[in-house]
């Protein structure tokens, strides 16, 4: 297949060119983010390959259909940026990478917890400036603390396992579809009500997909249910947290620290260098101004192992579509 590869970064191109199935498909690497305007660049291609912040909404899909595109290959697990109903109406296949390296994200989530709790980032900056004072760097032990895992897919389960077996935390989890066998092995205890988790957790780590039922899971109504001084980490999707409500709870001191690898309106800023430009998102600017907010640019997945797995699975998905075979990673509306 001829594939238009949108939002290309050099590390992705290197991974796809080095994959075992490299060469099977003809790939055009494009730096542009997919949207209704750039979708015209897919003219003459059979498929597009997109990432988390590319827009495959109804308008974009209509343009892709007119360009002759038959498939949308997501090189990620989430698919909330694709209008699945419209894709089905246009007979455009949608495939994804449901699991690449859950260890990569789980390990990053734990590292982010350690960073905000023990203030590694602040200590690093101080020492670089010759400041070796320890005031303001007091943290707390993870051992014995209660960690709430919301969402127990592969990543959430692994995160909970590391914290339970490695740090000896008391790990609680909430998931509408609990996996008790794996949870027991990982040392995780399910609660039947999300409110119970929010009330008990010293640290909350989010690991669920972004859907209508999970959008703004943490909001103006649910933040007050959490413990005073709670620590929150989100390596999943930015839309799980209502940012304005988070800011209010940072201002009043209810939330002690936050680690974010995602932001609900990250598409305009993430995966590009904006250091020489003005940030026009006032909410994002306010969030970044807090001393107790640690933010990275959707980096949790970024390991050699994950990139290799993403590339190979995506190429195999495209081969399934090309050959008219059933694809186990197909996404339906």
Domains (ranges, CATH) in the chain?
2-100+303-323 (3.40.50.720), 102-295 (3.40.50.720)
* CB under 8 A, 24+ apart: contacts of 38-42: 38/6, 39/63, 39/64, 39/67, 40/67, 41/4, 41/6, 42/4, 42/67, 42/68, 42/69
Per-residue tokens: 245: 């409500």
Active site residue 298: yes
Q: What is the pLDDT of residue 123?
A: 97
Q: What is the pLDDT of residue 13?
A: 96
Active site residue 96: no
Could you identify the residue written with the tokens 């760097």? 137
Which listed residue (25, 96, 207, 298) is catalytic? 298
Q: What is the pLDDT of residue 333?
A: 75
pLDDT, one tens digit for every residue, the chain (333 residues): 999 999 999 999 999 999 998 899 999 999 999 999 999 999 999 999 999 999 999 999 999 999 999 999 999 988 999 999 999 999 999 999 998 899 999 999 999 999 999 999 999 999 999 999 999 999 999 999 999 999 999 999 999 999 999 999 999 999 999 999 999 999 999 999 999 999 999 999 999 999 999 999 999 999 999 999 999 999 999 999 999 999 999 999 999 999 999 999 998 899 889 998 999 999 999 999 999 999 999 999 999 999 999 999 999 999 999 999 999 999 987
Question: Among 114, 106, 244, which residue's Cα sits nearest to residue 188?
Answer: 106
Q: In whole angstroms, how large is the CA radius of gyration of the chain?
A: 21
Per-residue tokens: 260: 């974010």
Contact (Cβ atoms closer than 8 angstroms) between residue 83 and residue 89: no
Which listed residue (25, 45, 96, 237) is catalytic? 237
Contact (Cβ atoms closer than 8 angstroms) between residue 21 and residue 313: no
Contact (Cβ atoms closer than 8 angstroms) between residue 132 and residue 153: no
Please tell me the pTM assigned to this model: 0.91
Q: What is the pLDDT of residue 153?
A: 95
Active site residue 266: yes
């Amino acid at each position: 297949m001829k594939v238009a590869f949108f939002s290309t970064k050099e590390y992705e191109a290197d991974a796809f060119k080095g994959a075992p199935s490299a060469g099977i498909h003809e790939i055009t690497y494009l730096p542009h983010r997919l949207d209704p305007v750039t979708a015209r660049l897919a003219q003459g291609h059979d498929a597009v390959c997109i990432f988390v912040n590319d827009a495959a909404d109804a308008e974009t899909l209509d343009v892709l259909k007119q360009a002759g595109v038959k498939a949308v290959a997501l090189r990620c697990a989430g698919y909330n940026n694709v209008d699945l109903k419209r894709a089905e109406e246009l007979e455009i296949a949608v495939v994804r990478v449901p699991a690449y390296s859950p260890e990569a994200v789980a390990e990053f989530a734990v590292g982010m917890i350690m960073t905000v709790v023990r203030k590694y980032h602040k200590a690093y900056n101080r020492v670089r400036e010759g400041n070796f004072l320890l005031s303001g760097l007091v943290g707390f032990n993870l051992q014995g603390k209660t960690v709430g895992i919301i969402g127990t897919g592969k990543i959430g389960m692994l995160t909970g396992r590391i914290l339970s077996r490695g740090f000896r935390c008391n790990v609680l989890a909430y998931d509408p579809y609990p996996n008790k066998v794996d949870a027991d092995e990982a040392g995780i205890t399910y609660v039947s009500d999300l409110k119970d988790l929010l009330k008990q957790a010293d640290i909350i780590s989010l690991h669920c997909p972004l859907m209508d039922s999970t959008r703004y899971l943490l909001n103006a109504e649910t933040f007050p249910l959490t413990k005073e001084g709670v620590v929150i980490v989100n390596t999943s999707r930015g839309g799980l947290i209502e940012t304005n409500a988070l800011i209010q709870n940072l201002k009043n001191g209810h939330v002690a620290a936050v680690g974010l690898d995602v932001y609900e309106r990250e598409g305009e800023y993430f995966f590009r260098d904006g250091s020489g430009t003005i940030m026009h998102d006032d909410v994002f600017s306010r969030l970044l101004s807090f001393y107790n907010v640690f933010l990275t640019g959707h980096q949790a997945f970024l390991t050699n192992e994950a990139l290799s797995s993403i590339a190979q699975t995506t190429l195999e998905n495209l081969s399934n579509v090309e050959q008219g075979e059933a694809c186990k990673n197909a996404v339906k509306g």
